[in-house]
Amino acid sequence: MTINTPAPGLRRGKSVATTAPGATHRRRGFSAIDMTVALLMMGLLAATAIPSYREQVHKGRRIDAIAALSALQLAQERHRSTAPRYADDPAQLGRSAWSDNGHYTLSILGASGTGYTLVATAQPGSSQAHDGPCVQMAVSVQSGLTVLLAADASGALTEDRPRQCWPH
């Protein structure tokens, strides 16, 4: 007759897999709590990183507007050197009504013999259309004085917002 006796150091009803004398094996894998903590941390990272990423994308795409307005301003000055007044339309300057990367439409307001305002407006429906006060950026030249403008909350161009939109 044999009697089942547990191995030394083990209590009846508890089993532990051993690979070597005195070594125990632990279960491998993640518990539900581990997974919840990992998902929570990923969510927090995404919640902070995505808005920051979007802001950097908007900021980078503003360069498209700045480059287009600068090129249009140079074309206006070249045009005025041979004409009695500034041009009313980018086409008169041999320029497209779109920025090079297509994020902005370009227009000329109030052209006269002494000045003009160049406006870059973010394309409706594009991600750039959600760029807050920088949806519209402008350069106004009047009697040789150049002023950088950006839209305020009502959409009117103002000198109060350019620091946020224009690099300094």
Report all structural domains of the chain as residue ranges with CATH numbers, in order of start.
32-165 (3.30.700)
pLDDT, tens digit, 9 for 90 and up, residues 73-87: 999 999 999 999 999
Q: Please check the confidence at residue 13 and state whether its pLDDT lies above 80.
A: no
Q: What is the pLDDT of residue 51?
A: 77
**Range picked from 52-56, 109-113, 127-131, 155-159 for highest mean pLDDT:** 109-113
What is the chain's mean pLDDT, rounded? Answer: 83
**Contact indicator for 134, 113 with CB cutoff of 8 Å:** no
**Contact indicator for 104, 127 with CB cutoff of 8 Å:** no
pLDDT, tens digit, 9 for 90 and up, residues 102-154: 899 999 999 999 999 999 999 988 888 888 878 899 999 999 899 999 887 67
Q: How far apart are CA 48 and CA 12, in angstroms?
A: 53
Q: Please check the confidence at residue 91 and state whether its pLDDT lies above 70.
A: yes
How far from chain centre, in Å, is Cα 30? 36
Give the HSE-up count for residue 122: Cα atoms under 13 Å, Cβ half-sphere.
Answer: 23
Q: Which two tokens stand for residue 89?
A: 């339309």
